[in-house]
A = this chain, B = another copy of it.
Amino acid sequence: MILKIKTKSKREIIDITEKINQILVKQEKKSGLIFLFALHTTCALTTADLDPGAEKDYLTAFEKISPQANFVHPHNPEHFPDHFLSSIIGAFLLLPFENKNLVLGTWQRVILVEFDGPREREIVVKVI
């Protein structure tokens, strides 16, 4: 199936943990692994701590590590770091679930990192 996520800003951290749990509740399998893959080159999927303020800190940190150079990327060279950060972090996740619920650490959340929104993002979801 495809999970669609609407993003609202150019760069944004979106907690998709509950969306994944809502999908798991509807599955026949009670435990296993769930695979997520974003069909895009300017967003990423990963896990993160989302304490108050953490979203702002993540965006600050991504800005800090964005490489600065005279990129040749067509249309808009300044846009290239969006692709680069997406490739570094990765577009897929594999996560464990039990009792139709993600198995995560106490502070661990599943996030979509938007680098070039606002857009509607599509994530392939498969239960293994």
Contacts and interface: CB of A to CB of B under 8 A. Distances in A.
Interface of A: 33, 35, 37-42, 46-49, 51-54, 56-58, 60-61, 64-65, 67-69, 71-74, 77, 80-81, 83-84, 86-96, 103-108, 111, 122, 124, 126, 128
A37 B95 contact: yes
B105 A39 contact: yes
A96 B64 contact: no
Given A35-B96, A90-B46, A108-B91, A60 B64 contact: no
Q: Chain A interface secondary structure, helix, strand, loop or mixed? A: mixed
A92 B89 CA distance: 12
A96 B57 contact: no
Q: Please state the number of chain copies in the assembly.
A: 3
Contacts of A35: 33, 94, 96
Given A46-B88, A47-B41, A91-B47, A124 B108 contact: no
B64 A68 contact: yes
Contacts of A68: 64
Given A60-B67, A87-B46, A87-B48, A41 B107 contact: yes
